[in-house]
Amino acid sequence: MLGKPRRLALLAEGSFVRLDAKTAIGVLRYRPQEVAAVIDSTRAGRTAETCVGVGGRIPVVASLDEAAARGADSLLIGIAPQGGGLPDAWRSVVRDALLRGWDVISGLHVFFGDDPEFRAAAERSGAVIHDLRRPPAERVVAAGRAGSVDALVVTTVGTDCNVGKMTTSLELVKALAEQGLKAAFVATGQTGIALADEGIAVDAVPADFVAGAVERLVVRAARGADVVVVEGQGGIHHPGYSGLTLSLMHGAMGEAMVLCHEAGRDSIRHSASRHEDVPIASLDRVCDDYERAASWRRDAPVVAVSLNTSGIDEGAARRACEEAARVTRRPATDPVRFGCGPIADVVRSMAARRARATSA
Amino acid sequence: MLGKPRRLALLAEGSFVRLDAKTAIGVLRYRPQEVAAVIDSTRAGRTAETCVGVGGRIPVVASLDEAAARGADSLLIGIAPQGGGLPDAWRSVVRDALLRGWDVISGLHVFFGDDPEFRAAAERSGAVIHDLRRPPAERVVAAGRAGSVDALVVTTVGTDCNVGKMTTSLELVKALAEQGLKAAFVATGQTGIALADEGIAVDAVPADFVAGAVERLVVRAARGADVVVVEGQGGIHHPGYSGLTLSLMHGAMGEAMVLCHEAGRDSIRHSASRHEDVPIASLDRVCDDYERAASWRRDAPVVAVSLNTSGIDEGAARRACEEAARVTRRPATDPVRFGCGPIADVVRSMAARRARATSA
């Protein structure tokens, strides 16, 4: 990961549960062979699988020492708290890791590389700090360049944060590749970047340049690709992040969208400073809203629905997919639980139609 | 301005024309008594009025020396180029101003205070650098707090950048105040901040925190106010800035919008890197789109249209207002040319209805 083979300790102290440890879970799902241990002293002694449903027998331990005993040589911050700050209790863990010479990989909005204490510790030991969210120096205003790439661009969008946009994107890329297409993943968030070893955390980019950053990523990813799948962010109905979502959609200039939703979630999952209840509209209404928002730059249908059913049992999950398909009149699946076939099929047909139209 | 009385030199070298010198024009219109001269060597010898239609007999001069002879003691960067960079030719002017001990006020995305050469010059002379676009240290994710203030919140929105959102906001605040209401202006861009002596340049805030920054400004401005008018940014149809606009709208949680448009502009005015033509839809369609986007958080009608007719003659301007009113079925005026009455009237009635409903 990030330039060299690693044995990661994933820091998720007090938060190694399904909805909070988003980054840790992404790494456990897609790069488990690089994880030595998860640190959460409140769950030490358990396995990753029993805590969050992925990661098999990877152990949960209480401290850096115990992670070191399991062979860890790098520390990855495994949570992505709203607001992106560093919980106070973690400061000493990060400093200690750096003093041991462990590289530290962080996706927080607070940049560890700008922290005098962390920087001093890293300089002393030779450790490297990777701030995944640091925006690129180059600042570009979007100008529709992604609208003329040869590849089909598909954007994942969602009813809320943390519903499965990154996972859906990765599963779709995998499924398309299995069907013989050249499919590229565009990482736009800290977890996606850790998994893809490249990308831009667009939520940390100054607002004027978000669409431009996405445009640049899409143009680059499209070279030689049949399909580009862009990891979405936030949601256009989200109190804090709606604009980020629209910037991403309009920068990507996608021709199709996949709507992601967590089965059973009926209101937006706010921060602790929750001020009001923000209900999630019916999925067909959400599809309409997304299509309207896309159309301000380029028409793009929502072609499928991706349901995250990790919180419910299999029977309920099947019923939720059927219900989503009925309500939205679009294919619906949980790509992790039931496979990404229905989504990949519709995207592949679109790509084929598009290729025929282009060559005609 | 910004903490002390000043005699400003407005730097607009080679760009002191109507659509390029946005910041200079704002200052000339609203704080002319603080302007000593405009610097543009290509137009030296003329007056501000003959170049941009405002500023009366304020002279255009060729150099800092000539501005100093007119009594200037501070330099304000008078353009807001897309992308926000510093034109190379201006570097020596800024450095020389700082070395003279002039405070320098800049709204560019590039922060002068982070430039080693500028910082050294300022330290030597005791000059102060004001980077109007520097985002606040505090980072807040919006959570709907602006939705429960006592004041009526009105947001200006637009068909494009640089069509008159700030000017409309300021004219509306002035007109409401003349009618006896307590009206507050929320500055969200560099020019607005220079004029209001406070505010946040939201386009430079990391995307996750734009709506939160606006929310905070609105909550603060609403204290003791009957009406809060929020300066809009960008436009939801703009290739680069659409997300910024949506963040601002959803952070402000306005209950009404005023649509701003430049009469005769039929496509979005892009950067030099223009890649495609982006036509502006009919104004009634633009109103519909804005109302749809607002409704994702809170229903808000577009209550009036503000036309910038500075590029056309008076007869054409009157016809343009009539046509805009007919097409949108809303009051339409150019607040600078014909007064803000029709907009202020509809806002005042709304505020009165709202006050009655609240007290009932």
Interchain CB contact of B69 with A (< 8 Å) = no
A232-268 pLDDT, tens digit per residue, is: 999 999 999 999 999 999 999 999 999 999 999 999 9
Asked if residue B328 lies in contact with residue B271, where contact means CB atoms within 8 angstroms, the answer is no
How many contacts does A have with B, using Cβ atoms within 8 A? 165
Categorize the per-residue pLDDT at B272 as very low, low, confident or very high, splitting at 50, 70 and 90: very low
CB atoms within 10 A of CB A335: 26
| Interchain pair A240, B211: CB under 8 A | yes
- Tokens linked to A117: 């204490």
| Interchain pair A204, B208: CB under 8 A | yes
Residue A9 belongs to what H/E stretch?
strand A8-11
Q: Which of A144, A211, A273 sits opposite B243 (nearest CB)?
A: A211
**What is the residue type of A28?**
L
CB atoms within 10 A of CB A85: 11
Over 60: is that where the pLDDT of B151 sits? yes
A336-351 pLDDT, tens digit per residue, is: 999 999 999 999 999 9
Asked if residue B102 lies in contact with residue B72, where contact means CB atoms within 8 angstroms, the answer is yes
Please give the Cα distance from B20 to B175 (Å, whole number).
27
Residue numbers in B near A148 (CB within 8 A) = 275-276
- Average pLDDT over chain B, rounded to whole? 95
The residues, ordered by sequence, that sit 6+ positions from B23 with a Cβ below 8 Å of its Cβ are: B10, B76, B77, B78, B79, B80, B107, B190, B191, B194
Residue A104's nearest CA partner among A124, A135, A77 is A77
Interchain CB contact of A293 with B (< 8 Å) = yes
User: So what's the pLDDT on residue A272?
Assistant: 39
User: So what's the pLDDT on residue A264?
Assistant: 94
User: So what's the pLDDT on residue A359?
Assistant: 79
pLDDT above 90 coverage of chain A, percent = 89
Which residues of B, range 122-181, sit inside 8 Å of A by Cβ?
Answer: 135, 139-145, 147-148
Q: Which of B144, B241, B247 sits opposite A276 (nearest CB)?
A: B144
Residue numbers in B near A82 (CB within 8 A) = 141
B294-346 pLDDT, tens digit per residue, is: 999 999 999 999 999 999 999 999 999 999 999 999 999 999 999 999 999 99
Q: Which of A145, A276, A289 sits opposite B296 (nearest CB)?
A: A289
Categorize the per-residue pLDDT at A273 as very low, low, confident or very high, splitting at 50, 70 and 90: very low
Q: How far is A242 from chain B (nearest CA, A)?
A: 6
Asked if residue B291 lies in contact with residue B284, where contact means CB atoms within 8 angstroms, the answer is no
Residue numbers in B near A109 (CB within 8 A) = 139, 206, 208
Categorize the per-residue pLDDT at B270 as very low, low, confident or very high, splitting at 50, 70 and 90: low
Can you list the positions of beta strands (E) in B246-291? 256-262
Interchain CB contact of B202 with A (< 8 Å) = yes
Q: Which of B205, B207, B292 sits opposite A247 (nearest CB)?
A: B207
Residue numbers in B near A138 (CB within 8 A) = none
Q: What is the mean pLDDT of residues B212-239?
A: 97
- Tokens linked to B10: 């407005």
Q: Report ipTM (2 d.p.).
A: 0.94
CB atoms within 10 A of CB B282: 11
Q: Which residues pair with B9 in a beta bridge?
A: B37, B75
DSSP of B130-146, one letter per residue? EETTPPPS------SGG
Over 60: is that where the pLDDT of B218 sits? yes
Q: Buried b / exposed e across A183-213, counting CB within 10 Å, b at 16+?
A: bbbbbbbbbbbbbbeebbbbbbbbbbbbbbb
The residues, ordered by sequence, that sit 6+ positions from B178 with a Cβ below 8 Å of its Cβ are: none
**Residue given tokens 């947001």 in the structure block:** B155
A11-21 pLDDT, tens digit per residue, is: 999 999 988 89
Q: What is the mean pLDDT of residues A104-132?
A: 96
Which residues of B, range 3-62, sit inside 8 Å of A by Cβ?
Answer: none
Please give the Cα distance from A39 to B213 (Å, whole number).
34
Residue numbers in A near B205 (CB within 8 A) = 206-207
Residue B282's nearest CA partner among B301, B259, B300 is B259
Which residue in chain B has the smallest CA separation from A272? B143
Residue numbers in A near B209 (CB within 8 A) = 240
Over 60: is that where the pLDDT of B29 sits? yes
Which residues of A, range 297-316, sit inside 8 Å of B by Cβ?
Answer: 297
Residue numbers in A near B132 (CB within 8 A) = none
Q: Which of B143, B204, B296 sits opposite A240 (nearest CB)?
A: B143
